[in-house]
Structure 1
Amino acid sequence: AWGIDKAAHEAALGRTGSSIAVLGTGIDVPYPRANTRLYDRMAAKGLLVSEFAPGTPALRENFPVRNRIISGLSLGVVVVEAASRSGTLITSRLALEQGREVYAVPGAALSGQSLGCQELVRQGAKPVFAPEDVLEDLAGPLRDFGVQADHLTREAAERRRRAEAEGTGLSRTLFACMPPETDTPPKADPGNGEERPTQGAGDTDTAAPSPAQDTIIPLLREQGPLHVDALGAALGRSPAELAPVLLGLEIMGRIRRLPGARYEAV
């Protein structure tokens, strides 16, 4: 993606020499194409992972379902920004189900992009105010990967103190590798077929919808809440085939999951 995902991968490649990307497309489909150079660097020095068949295009429902692999590969998930109905919150739920740690940056009290983070903290997620908070909390598991306590250097502690003294917190420490907010992602050129880059792990506005998405919403509006098996029978699809489509629609806020594996249109 164009935003923090890209910045994180570039920083990891520059500092540790490696990074892992879980794709929402086939392994041979860079998306967005504006990041093809980063894709090539990771193929050479890092790792690209995809559960989708080669040639699979960027479909909206594939992105949220792949996030369960991202959280599953991780020791913990740090939620930097999330609106109250952000798809990131579903990724956090998946992380909890997988027994992973969940952290959240509380953010400004009145910021709409921090409401989801604040709700996570209320539900028990660990608040994060500096990168060292995560490293210290995961010191035990990280020891198995060769990361020792003394790697929290005096320089890192000094950087944290400076950030706190300046009142900028994570904006100076955690986001040091991110581009300025004034940077505008390049838009698509209709003449060359380029997609407009996405904004985050779950942002897939430029991805094509699937045919199933176009039939589920009208069906739920006509018949009311339905069990996933009833949906599958009506659409001629198995529950396993519908799972990623339903998850994608849930993240987009078009359907709501009810107790008992039932779904309703929003």
Structure 2
Amino acid sequence: MHTLPATDIELAAWLRLSLAPGLKPAALRLLLGAFGLPEAIFNQSPEALAEIAGEAAARAVLAPCSPDFDAQLDAVIAWRELPGNHVVTLDDPAYPPALLTMPDPPPLLYIKGRLDLLHTRAVALVGSRSATPQGAEDAERFARELSQAGVTIVSGLALGIDGAAHRGGLEGVGSTVAVIGTGADLVYPAAHHALARQIAMQGAILSEWPLGTPARAANFPQRNRLIAGLVSGVVIVEAAMRSGSLITARLANEMGRDIFALPGSIHAPLSRGCHRIIKQGAKLVETPDEVLEELGVSRPVATKAASGQAVLWDGEAGWRNSSTGLASVADQPDSAAAPASAATQPELTAAPAASAAPPAMSAEALQLLDALGHAPATLEILATRTEMGDAALQNTLLQLELAGQVTALPGGRFTRATHG
């Protein structure tokens, strides 16, 4: 699909609408439906606008531009001209069709990478930032197998389950789309800089936020709404009772999408959110094939294909645009970005694995207990997760057994002991 970019004049009008303070996307959609393109909206009287979308929307549209609007427009035009970057407006044929089924699709989308992925069958894989090793393995495996069946994997580029889902998605023909809560010129969290670069080259990164928008707690629920809008179904891998993933599931359910959840141990804190939405009607799934079957997708014999998409990067910072001076979140102090993750997902405050262990344990014992998670695991799996040598692994397991922290099961498997 090849479309001419909007002219700079049209883009200016779309940008002005998208930045209008207090103009809600649903009100904007009413105005576009009544008057057509943004230029026509700006030519209406306050009374005509108010009749369609209310007085608050009319005031927002007719408010004067901010003093730095011209600089923002120049930055968007310069960003759009970089290889692999796209600014897609609501009336553009490249706009993701799934988002048009939402009541409030964003007027402007900033996209790095492959536009074609936004027109494919997609599934969201989301879950806790503080994922267990087993949860991350499950997310990556589900994502890889769904992607190999041609399904695009959508997630939010957060730590934990999201990152594992993107990595798995990159391994199949379906690839992956990261929907982010910052400007498309920033990477958050900074730890995912390399992953974001790979997604922009082989998949796509999508944001509705103006360039330069930093990580703010309030942006992430809105980001979750876009994830829900883009997909046919949402798979929750691990989630605490109060989790941003459950917001995504609720929003997706309201839009008529399918909701799936992986069950877990009744003793695992990160299974509780999954069990809760299963009780509320989400489909319990144990294999990627069950998700494909529910969605009516047959599993072809697929091999990974290179997209051929080239994205140029500006030095090691990658996302810095020299003409605008906009810098990556990686360049900012961690303390500035930290509140967003803590506020959006309260389960981050305590890592359950380590807190359950008595303080007298060695660092190896704590590491092994963390790697064990809440599902039985073999010696081979534990060796892979911890990278310990055989002797150290056996000694540490014995130490944990004697401390009553681990139970040996038949078949050479080990599990965390349950207390109380």
The TM-score range, normalised by the shorter chain, is: 0.5 to 0.7
Residues 7-38 of structure 1, C-alpha deviations (whole Å, 9 max, x = no match): 22122112226311111000100111222122
Query: Structure 2 counterpart of 1:110, which letter?
Result: H
SS in 2 for 1:78: strand
Asked whether the 8 Å contact 2:261–2:282 carries over to 1, the reply is yes
Query: Structure 2 counterpart of 1:151, which letter?
Result: P
Q: Aligned partners of 1:8 and 1:208: how far apart in 2?
A: 18
Q: 1:64 is matched with which residue: 198, 221, 225? A: 221
Shift of residue 193, structure 1, vs aligned partner: 4.8
Q: 1:151 is matched with which residue: 300, 324, 333? A: 300
Shift of residue 99, structure 1, vs aligned partner: 0.6
Residues 154-169 of structure 1 aligned to structure 2 (within 5 Å)? none
Equivalent pairs counted in the alignment come to 161
Change (3 A) 1:36 1:194: farther
Q: Aligned partners of 2:283 and 2:301: how far apart in 1?
A: 19
Q: Aligned partners of 2:215 and 2:205: how far apart in 1?
A: 16
SS in 1 for 2:205: strand
Is 1:99 the counterpart of 2:250? The answer is no
Change (3 A) 1:49 1:119: same
Q: Aligned partners of 1:129 and 1:59: how far apart in 2?
A: 34
Shift of residue 129, structure 1, vs aligned partner: 1.0
Residues 197-212 of structure 1 aligned to structure 2 (within 5 Å)? 205-207=338-340
Query: Structure 2 counterpart of 1:27, which letter?
Result: A
1:6 corresponds in structure 2 to 163
Q: Aligned partners of 1:14 and 1:111: how far apart in 2?
A: 29
Asked whether the 8 Å contact 1:32–1:195 carries over to 2, the reply is no
Q: Aligned partners of 1:80 and 1:88: how far apart in 2?
A: 9
Unaligned runs of 5+ residues in structure 1 are: 143-148, 154-191, 197-203, 210-247, 254-266
Asked whether the 8 Å contact 1:78–1:103 carries over to 2, the reply is yes
Query: Structure 1 counterpart of 2:263, which letter?
Result: P
Shift of residue 88, structure 1, vs aligned partner: 1.6
TM-score norm. by structure 2 comes to 0.35
Shift of residue 104, structure 1, vs aligned partner: 1.0
Q: Aligned partners of 2:299 and 2:271: how far apart in 1?
A: 32
Query: Once superposed, what is the RMSD of the aligned Cα atoms?
Result: 2.7
Change (3 A) 1:73 1:17: closer
Q: Aligned partners of 1:15 and 1:194: how far apart in 2?
A: 35
Q: 2:234 is matched with which residue: 69, 77, 85? A: 77
Q: Aligned partners of 1:152 and 1:133: how far apart in 2?
A: 17
SS in 2 for 1:102: strand
Q: 1:41 is matched with which residue: 198, 202, 206? A: 198
Q: Aligned partners of 1:109 and 1:151: how far apart in 2?
A: 35
Query: Structure 1 counterpart of 2:334, which letter?
Result: E
Asked whether the 8 Å contact 2:161–2:237 carries over to 1, the reply is no
Q: Aligned partners of 1:72 and 1:193: how far apart in 2?
A: 31
Q: Aligned partners of 1:34 and 1:115: how far apart in 2?
A: 27
SS in 1 for 2:264: coil
Identity of aligned residues (%): 45
Asked whether the 8 Å contact 1:67–1:91 carries over to 2, the reply is yes
Query: Structure 2 counterpart of 1:62, which letter?
Result: N
Residues 102-137 of structure 1, C-alpha deviations (whole Å, 9 max, x = no match): 011121122221111111111111001111110111
Residues 234-262 of structure 1, C-alpha deviations (whole Å, 9 max, x = no match): xxxxxxxxxxxxxx77x659xxxxxxxxx
Shift of residue 101, structure 1, vs aligned partner: 0.2
Q: Aligned partners of 2:269 and 2:162: how far apart in 1?
A: 21
Shift of residue 83, structure 1, vs aligned partner: 1.5
Asked whether the 8 Å contact 2:292–2:299 carries over to 1, the reply is no
Asked whether the 8 Å contact 1:195–1:206 carries over to 2, the reply is no
Asked whether the 8 Å contact 2:161–2:238 carries over to 1, the reply is no
Of structures 1 and 2, the one with the larger relative CO (CA 8 A, separation 6+) is 1
2:209 corresponds in structure 1 to 52
1:116 corresponds in structure 2 to 273
Higher mean C-alpha displacement, 130-139 vs 15-24: 15-24
Shift of residue 59, structure 1, vs aligned partner: 0.6
Change (3 A) 1:75 1:107: same
Q: Aligned partners of 1:47 and 1:33: how far apart in 2?
A: 18
Change (3 A) 1:208 1:120: closer
SS in 1 for 2:186: coil
Shift of residue 151, structure 1, vs aligned partner: 2.9
